[in-house]
């Protein structure tokens, strides 16, 4: 079978699974957002000032965190290319307990995020993107009327897990925080320290999970039924943004009812709110390639029903919505169908394309297969590649792109789940279909989680 192009990578692999995969083909199967307050936490060496186009605090290249890290070296023992001074380690492998007595790590790990613990440690929350009957409707929309009712009767095999770290970075436990769901993709750590996990099927829901494993997960139908990819939270304005991973997908916003997130409340109750869909005005999407365009929000039709059956023709199509991130009046999201990074300026009420592969010029055209994203407070957008060159690429406000790392020998996997430890000195990322090679080293498998250790010479940030 020829290798799929980056834009069709995951759908091609899903067809292999759904239409007759065997045990020998399963390892080739495929397997994020923010409130703008915690991409990197206290403990750094730089106090940035000012602002830039991306809403970050760095105003010159010297202040950026990863701008000047230098070229990537040869692959290390874990199969990862990093710049000088950086190191990696593998912290969890699918179907294996990451610590003594811990629950084995789930398969096909995708989006992830970090919650601090009171003892100075942290918890990494991770989704398990195991497909199910409902995935048929994601893969082949014409089959959704058949697949969706069956999905509602068959418990999913996906969900989410938690990986617990002590303050020195030692992995001490893992456990499930969500079960019975299907094709859980990305999500977000909330300001109130829960994990929102997204189901990427036509009837998909967002689920709120307790990273500490004390409370049962609950579904949030008020956030809509659609192929949820990722979530981002603007807690100051009490708004939630969501992407939809479908070729005719839309970009959504949820506005809580006044009594659902009342003044002074730390969080919404997620019982009542308005689901809205983005509509680009002015010169439209093509105009946004050249300059910022105005946008408005339109109330979703039949918000309690699958949105793939209730499209509003005057709302804007975004081909394959992926990661989303909110920070300082900016909402960034990616679309894999056209390899673009979009930016909403929520104060100016405009949208523009911050990166477009088809029009980017060398050397700043190294990003393809755009997927999960995260940001640093400096205004650097870190984009994971689904396929592509299996890189994490940093996008800068002036258009410069810098590769942060690259996984080799796992070309039919994807990178996801990037998130920083509370002190900003470690970054986590997954290889959704990576795993140990019988002969040694790492290749394709059922998923694994890496840690990138960042040297002290790289600027950190004090919040």
Tokens at 215, concatenated: 């409370």
pLDDT at residue 28 is higher than 80: no
Residue pair 34/187 in contact (Cβ under 8 Å)? The answer is no
Does residue 313 or residue 49 have the better pLDDT?
A: 313
pLDDT of residue 24: 28
Q: How many CB atoms lie within 10 A of CB 5?
A: 12
pLDDT of residue 36: 54
What band does 137 get if pLDDT is binned at 50, 70 and 90?
Answer: confident
Mean pLDDT of the 15-41 span? 39
What band does 26 get if pLDDT is binned at 50, 70 and 90?
Answer: very low
What band does 46 get if pLDDT is binned at 50, 70 and 90?
Answer: low
pLDDT of residue 146: 80
pLDDT of residue 168: 97
Tokens at 9, concatenated: 């990578």
What band does 59 get if pLDDT is binned at 50, 70 and 90?
Answer: confident
For residue 110, what are the CA distances in angstroms to 159, 290, 333? 11, 33, 17
Tokens at 88, concatenated: 């990696």
pLDDT at residue 290 is higher than 80: yes
In the predicted model, what is the mean pLDDT of the chain?
Answer: 89
Cite the beta strand spans of 146-222 per DSSP E.
Answer: 156-165, 171-180, 184-189, 195-199, 206-209, 218-219
- In the DSSP assignment, the letter for residue 148 is H
Does residue 272 or residue 37 have the better pLDDT?
A: 272
What band does 145 get if pLDDT is binned at 50, 70 and 90?
Answer: confident
Residue pair 183/156 in contact (Cβ under 8 Å)? The answer is yes
pLDDT at residue 23 is higher than 50: no
Domains of the chain: 30-453 (2.120.10.30)
pLDDT of residue 47: 57
Which backbone phi and psi does 135 adopt, to 5 degrees?
-65, -25
Tokens at 8, concatenated: 């069709």
Tokens at 276, concatenated: 């809205």
pLDDT of residue 62: 84
pTM: 0.90
Of 44-48, 128-132, 243-247, 302-306, which gets the smallest average pLDDT? 44-48
Q: Is 144 helix (H, G, I), strand (E, B) or coil?
A: helix
Query: What is the four-CA torsion angle of 84, 413, 417, 380, rounded to 10 degrees?
Result: 50
State what percent of residues in the chain have pLDDT above 70: 89
Residue pair 200/239 in contact (Cβ under 8 Å)? The answer is no
Mean pLDDT of the 196-208 span? 97
pLDDT at residue 43 is higher than 90: no
pLDDT of residue 441: 93
Tokens at 226, concatenated: 């659609």
318-321-322 Cα angle (round to 5): 160
What band does 35 get if pLDDT is binned at 50, 70 and 90?
Answer: low
Give the H/E segment covering residue 448.
strand 448-453
- In the DSSP assignment, the letter for residue 145 is H
Does residue 32 or residue 377 have the better pLDDT?
A: 377
Which backbone phi and psi does 14 adopt, to 5 degrees?
-65, -40
pLDDT of residue 462: 53
212-218-224 Cα angle (round to 5): 130
Task: Give the rounded distance of the alpha carbon of 433 from its chain centre.
Answer: 16
Q: Is 221 helix (H, G, I), strand (E, B) or coil?
A: helix
pLDDT at residue 225 is higher than 50: yes
Tokens at 123, concatenated: 């918890």
- Residue 110's closest CA among 96, 131, 138? 131
- In the DSSP assignment, the letter for residue 69 is -
């Amino acid at each position: 079978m020829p290798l799929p192009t980056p834009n069709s990578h995951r759908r091609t692999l899903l067809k292999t699974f759904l239409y007759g995969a065997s045990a020998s083909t399963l390892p080739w199967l495929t397997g994020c957002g923010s409130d703008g307050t915690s991409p990197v936490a206290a403990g750094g060496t730089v106090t940035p000032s000012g602002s830039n186009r991306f809403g970050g605090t760095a105003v010159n290249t010297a202040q950026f965190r990863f701008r000047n890290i230098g070229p990537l070296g040869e692959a290390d023992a874990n199969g990862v290319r990093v710049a000088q001074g950086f190191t990696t380690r593998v912290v969890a492998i699918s179907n294996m307990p990451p610590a003594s007595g811990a629950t084995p790590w789930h398969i096909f790990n995708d989006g992830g995020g970090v919650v601090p613990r009171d003892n100075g440690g942290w918890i990494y929350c991770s989704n398990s993107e195991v497909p199910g009957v409902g995935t048929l409707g994601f893969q082949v929309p014409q089959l959704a009327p058949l697949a969706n009712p069956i999905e509602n009767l068959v418990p999913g095999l996906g969900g989410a897990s938690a990986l617990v770290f002590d303050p020195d970075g030692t992995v001490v436990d893992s456990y499930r925080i969500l079960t019975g769901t299907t094709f859980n993709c990305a999500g977000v750590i909330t300001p109130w320290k829960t994990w929102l996990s997204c189901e990427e099927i036509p009837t998909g829901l967002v689920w709120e999970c307790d990273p500490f494993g004390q409370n049962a997960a609950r579904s949030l139908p008020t956030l809509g039924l659609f192929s949820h990819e990722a979530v981002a939270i603007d807690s100051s304005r009490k708004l939630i943004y969501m992407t939809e991973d479908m070729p005719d997908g839309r970009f959504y916003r949820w506005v809580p009812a006044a009594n659902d997130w009342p003044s002074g409340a730390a969080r919404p109750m997620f019982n009542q709110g308005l689901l809205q869909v983005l509509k680009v005005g002015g010169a439209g999407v093509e105009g946004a390639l050249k300059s910022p365009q105005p946008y408005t929000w339109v109330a979703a039709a039949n918000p309690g029903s699958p949105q793939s059956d209730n499209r509003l023709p005057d709302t804007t199509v975004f081909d394959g919505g992926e990661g989303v991130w909110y920070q300082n009046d900016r909402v960034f999201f990616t679309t894999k169908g056209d390899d673009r990074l979009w930016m909403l300026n929520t104060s100016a009420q405009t949208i523009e394309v911050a990166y477009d592969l088809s029009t980017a010029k060398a050397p700043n055209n190294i990003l393809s297969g755009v997927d999960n994203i995260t940001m640093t407070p400096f205004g650097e957008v870190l984009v994971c590649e689904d396929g592509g060159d299996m890189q994490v690429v940093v996008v800068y406000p002036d258009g410069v792109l810098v590769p942060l790392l690259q996984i080799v020998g796992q070309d039919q996997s994807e990178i996801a789940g990037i998130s920083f430890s509370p002190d900003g000195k470690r970054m986590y990322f997954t290889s959704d279909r990576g795993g140990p090679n019988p002969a040694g080293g790492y290749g394709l498998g059922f998923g694994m989680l890496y840690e990138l250790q960042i040297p002290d010479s790289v600027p950190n940030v004090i919040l």
